[in-house]
Every structure is written in C-alpha cells, then in structure tokens.
Amino acid sequence: MLMCVCVLRAQTITSYTCDFENPAENAQWVLNEVAATRDISQCANTWYIGAAGGFGVGSSVTSSGLYISSDGGATASYSNSQSVFITASRALQLAQGTYSVVFDWEAMGAGTPDGLYVFWVEDVSTKTFGNWSDRTNLAIPPYVTNAARYGSAANWRSSAFTFTTAGNGGKLVVLWLNTLTPAVPPAGKVDNICIYQGSPCPAPTNVRYNGNTKTLSWSGAAASYDVLLYNYHTQTMSSFMGLTSTSMLMPDLNEEGYYYIYVRSVCDEGHSTWSYTEKFVWIKGARCIDLFDLTEDNSGAAKCFAGSTENIKETIGQIDFGYADELSQHTIHYVQGERDPRTGNQLKTIPDGEIASVRLGGHWLSDGNMSSTVEYQYSVQAGVSDLLELKYATILEYADYHSESEEARFKLEILSNGVPVSGCAQRDFKAGYGETSSWHTYTYHYGSSGTSTREIYWSDWQTITVSLRDYVNQTLTIRLTAYSCTATIHIGYAYFTLN
C-alpha cells in the first residue's frame, strides 16, 4: 500500500508546461480521437504537431506547435467540406486546487460557433471524446462548463483561464470546430502552454513604443519580463528574455512592414499572457508614390478630401478614427491576415506582396451619399515610373433599381493640368456593371440585434497597369475616389495600392 501511495504522488503535479519542442512530451498528447465506429479519414481537418503551428519564444531552433491542417500537416489550414469537432488532449494528474492556464493561439473561423476552444475536463473516466467528431451533433457536451471560444485573430494572441480540480485527474482539451461556412484562415494553432497553481500572473499594462527615442516601455511589478519583436512582413522574430526593468531600447525598425511587440510578466509561479503593441513602418521616399503619407492637415504627399457626392471637398484632410471605425474615410490597413467582415471575412484587406493598403470610404452602418478622395502627384520618368500599377478591391452595395450613374462606385482618374490624360488611364468601377467575373455577393448583418442586412457586391483584388509613356518628364495628378450611391442609401468603399 505504501508503494502504491508513493507512485501516485510521483504522478501528481502542480504545474505543467509544453512548448511542443520535446518529442517525448508531444507523444503524450492524444490527437484526433474518434469513436470506434468512425474513421479518422472522414475528418477533413485534423490536428498535427510541427513547425506550421509554432510561435517561437527565446529559441533559435524552428518552433513547433499544435495546429489544424486539411492537407496532411503541410500547412495550417482547414476545409469547409465537413462540419466537425476535432480534439487534441493531454491527460494530467494535477493536485487538488485552483490553477491558471496560459497559452498562445491563433485562429479565425467564419464566426461563432466556428473557432478554437481550450478547456479543462475533470474526471475523464466517465466521459468520451471520440463521439465529439460526430458531424450530426455540433454541441459541446454539457459536462464542459468552462469552454470559451477563441477566434477572430489573424495574428498570435495570448489568453488565460482558471479552473479548480478535486485532484482526481483530468484532461486539457484543445478543440477545433468548423461548420459548413466559408473557410477563413488562419486555422487553429496553440503553443507555449503553461499551467500553474494559484492566481494568474498579472500581465504588463500600458505597453507603448516611442519611435523618436526607440524606447519600448510598460507598467508592471513582476520580477522580470520577456519581450518579442516580430516583423510580419519578413516573418522574423527577435526575443529579449529576463529583463528586470520596465523599459528597453529597441533595435531600429528600419524595414518597411508591420511590427508586433509582445511583453509578458514572469512570476514565481509562471508567466502571464502577452500584452502587445503594434507599429507600422513605412519609409518616406522609398517608392515612386508615398502611398501612406496621409495627414489630417494635408501636409503629406497625399491630399485627402471627403464630402457629399455633389461636393467632394467639403472636408479637407485625412479623416481617420482608426480603420475599424465606420466614420473613417482615409485609413491605412497594415495588419497582415486581416479580412473585411462585410465580405464574410473572405476579402483580405492587403493584397499579396504588399505591406499595407489604403482604404477610401466607410459609413457601412450609415446612409450613403458620401465620397472620399485621395490625390497624389506623380512624376513620370522613363524606365522608372512610366507604368502605373493599381491594385484594388471594392465593396459596393448594389441596388437593382438604381441607374448606372446612381450606383456606388470606385473611380481612378489621371490628370495633366486638371485634364484627363489620353488612353486607358481613366477607370470607373460601378456595382453591377462592367466585367463582373471577379465579383461576389454577401449578405452583411449589422445592428445590435443583427437583423439589419446589406446586400454587398464586392470584388476581390484586381491589378491593372496603365502606360504613361506619353507623359515622360511630366508631373501628373492621380486621383482615386470611392462613392456611396447618390440616393443616400447604399455604401461604397475600396482598398488600393499604387506602384
């Protein structure tokens, strides 16, 4: 009896960490458990452990993590061909008490209930996980009382929750649910799990980066801190571990792109969730058009205007309350992986190969008759800038009872001394008109009850190239305008880049 008690105590633990770098520990995870009557091949999306799911912390080796894949583990991806739950779990014999769980994750999904769920299940001897893969019953079992959905994050996030165990054993469960809705990447990923007894370690607050002094600072009272600097454009990461002050000099952010800066507290028991700030860097003069030089007083390279369709210059200067605000009229979208919710999260706000885009227009909760314009001065140099490339994506609400001139639209004009240049330099895109092979439709629900709808007519990213070789050594005006409909009802806005 004494020997049995000793063995039991040896198996009981008060903390657990897993960064999925140890093959022996990875083997303790049960992936893709299904009922005996089911075949795992029936599940289009299954869990894997590997580099595609890793979020590296303080390591020079390739980071591994837990991730969903629909292509045999080659990438973190999922298919919407089947509606299914799929689980990964780790059995743990935790001592009696209350525990904090901290983990890093990334996941989108098309919306509730799609997404990632992480939770603790107590006393698993009376519970079966395999039946969760039954595609006909997409309901989390009633004995799971602490399941929370994690989703709508195109970049890595950090979360925490607490649970209490009686010490009878249980499982940490990671669950992916997708239904028959459009697949919205990224698929679910989990890394750097930390479970420890006691209350959560307090995360840093007020994380901020001063671009003038190159200083990162934050507030907190922990013994030490870890910092990560991640460039999403180059997909490179630098780590600074065990810092004992609440500020540090950062390396120069001298590459154009979108940076994420993560900070977490390290306590005696474990670590906190990551707090973060973001920084978008563009270098003036690095391109033919200073695309992102938008200012409230129009002192930058871009001149911004907004107003009614009849008088577009009622307001002069950039209107930007942040690009999630529908009242913004001229904004820069720089979050890699972000998707437009008014297209059912199908449209990427940044085209492939670009670090950011400019959005014209908004007012997706308001009435129409709004217009937004950006103008650039463009110097045409032979062999350097005599070909203009426009990438654009439009969200235009279509109304079949409007005339062509009344529809929401997106317009490109190239002017020489106020007069349109010759050739095919003028483009006018209207909802429901012209070449429509690239257009899609989506019913957007909005309002507090979600019962109000808009029928969105949107175009995925397109590229057109305009020859300006007849205007070498001239300075032209490039004007882009997004219009809602003239009847003050239907919305219209657009994303674009110029090269």
Report the CATH number at residue 488: 2.60.120
Distances in whole angstroms, Cα of residue 116 to Cα of each of 133, 255, 405? 15, 33, 45
Buried/exposed code over 289-299 (b: 16+ C-beta within 10 A; e: otherwise): bbbbbbeeeee
Domain boundary among 223, 251, 281: 281
Together in a domain, 259 and 347 = no
Range from 82-86, 204-208, 437-441, 443-447 that averages highest in pLDDT: 204-208
The answer to whether residue 295 is domain-embedded is no
Together in a domain, 160 and 244 = no
Phi-psi label, residue 470: left if phi above 0, alpha if psi -120 to 50, beta otherwise = alpha
Tell me if 367 sits within 8 A of 488, measured CB to CB: yes
CA distance 252 to 279: 12
The answer to whether residue 4 is domain-embedded is no
Summarize the chain as % helix, strand, coil (round to 5).
Answer: 5, 45, 50
From 318, 275, 232, select the one nearest 104 (Cα to Cα).
Answer: 275
The answer to whether residue 7 is domain-embedded is no
pLDDT of 302 > 90? The answer is yes
SS3 of 224-257: the string is: EEEEEEEECCCCEEEEEEEECCCEEECCCCCCCE
Together in a domain, 321 and 413 = yes
Alpha helices in 87-173 (DSSP H): none
CA distance 187 to 115: 8
CA distance 451 to 274: 36
Owning domain of residue 174: 12-197
From 139, 124, 134, 131, select the one nearest 173 (Cα to Cα).
Answer: 124
Burial of residue 93, with CB atoms counted within 10 A of its CB: 0-12 exposed, 13-18 middle, 19 or more buried = middle
The answer to whether residue 294 is domain-embedded is no
Together in a domain, 347 and 444 = yes
Tell me if 378 sits within 8 A of 460, measured CB to CB: no
Together in a domain, 374 and 414 = yes
Question: In which residue are the tokens 């795992």 written?
Answer: 40
Domain boundary among 165, 197, 229: 197
Together in a domain, 139 and 230 = no
Together in a domain, 227 and 140 = no
Together in a domain, 426 and 376 = yes
Give pLDDT, residue 274.
Answer: 95
Together in a domain, 140 and 103 = yes
From 269, 388, 374, select the one nearest 315 (Cα to Cα).
Answer: 374
Q: What is the arrangement of strands in the sheet containing 148-150, beginning at the earlier edge strand?
A: 30-31, 84-92, 170-178, 115-122, 148-150
The answer to whether residue 3 is domain-embedded is no
The answer to whether residue 287 is domain-embedded is no
CA–chain centroid gap for 174, Å, is 20
Together in a domain, 190 and 254 = no
Together in a domain, 494 and 458 = yes
Of the chain, the end-to-end C-alpha distance in Å amounts to: 77
CA distance 187 to 153: 10
Give pLDDT, residue 448.
Answer: 64
Buried/exposed code over 316-346 (b: 16+ C-beta within 10 A; e: otherwise): ebbbbeebeebebbbbbbbbbbbbbbbbbbb
The helix or strand, by DSSP H or E, that contains position 4, with its residue range, turns out to be helix 2-11
Tell me if 408 sits within 8 A of 368, measured CB to CB: yes
What's the pLDDT tens digit per position in 221-243? 999 999 999 888 777 888 899 99
What's the pLDDT tens digit per position in 135-169? 555 666 666 767 788 887 878 899 999 999 999 89
What's the pLDDT tens digit per position in 109-126? 776 677 899 999 987 766
What's the pLDDT tens digit per position in 18-55? 999 999 999 999 998 876 666 777 788 899 999 999 98
- Domain count within the chain: 3
More confident residue, 3 or 213: 213
Tell me if 475 sits within 8 A of 380, measured CB to CB: yes
User: Which CATH number fits the domain that encloses residue 24?
Assistant: 2.60.120.200
φ, ψ for residue 2 (rounded to 5)? Answer: -65, -40
Q: What is the mean pLDDT of the chain?
A: 85
pTM over 0.85: no
CA–chain centroid gap for 392, Å, is 20
Count of beta carbons in the 10 Å neighbourhood of residue 222: 20
User: Which CATH number fits the domain that encloses residue 244?
Assistant: 2.60.40.10
| Cβ neighbours for 319, distance < 8 A, ≥ 6 positions apart | 304, 306, 327, 328, 329, 330, 372
The answer to whether residue 297 is domain-embedded is no
User: Residue 318: helix, strand or coil by DSSP?
Assistant: coil
Together in a domain, 74 and 132 = yes
Give pLDDT, residue 234.
Answer: 78
